[in-house]
Structure 1
Amino acid sequence: MSDTEVIQSAAERPSKGGGNIFARIALFVRQVVAELKKVVAPTRSELITYTTVVLVFLIVVMIFVTALDYAFGWLMIWVFG
Structure 2
Amino acid sequence: MTETTGSTATPESGNPEGADGAAETTAEGDKTSGKKKSGKRAKKGLFARIGLFYRQIIAELRKVVWPSRNELTNYTAVVVTFVVVVMAFVAGLDYGFSKLSLWVFG
Number of equivalenced pairs: 69
Could you tell me which amino acid in structure 1 is paired with residue 21 of structure 2? Q
Q: Relative to total residues, which structure has the larger helix share, 1 or 2?
A: 1
TM-score scaled by length of structure 1: 0.71
Show structure 2 runs of 5+ residues with no match.
1-19, 24-41
TM value normalised by structure 2: 0.56
1:30 equivalent to 2:61? Answer no
Structure possessing the higher relative contact order (Cα contacts under 8 Å, 6 or more residues apart): 2
Over aligned residue pairs, what C-alpha RMSD do you find? Answer: 2.0
Give the Å deviation of 1:60.
0.8
Runs of 4+ in 1 over 3 A off after TM superposition: none
Query: Which has the higher Rg, Structure 1 or Structure 2?
Result: 2
> Which residue does 1:51 correspond to in 2?
76
Q: Equivalent residue of 1:19, what SS?
A: coil
Matched position secondary structure for 2:64: coil
Percent same amino acid among aligned pairs?
Answer: 55
The one-letter amino acid of 1:59's match is V
Identify unmatched segments of 5+ residues in structure 1: 1-6, 11-16
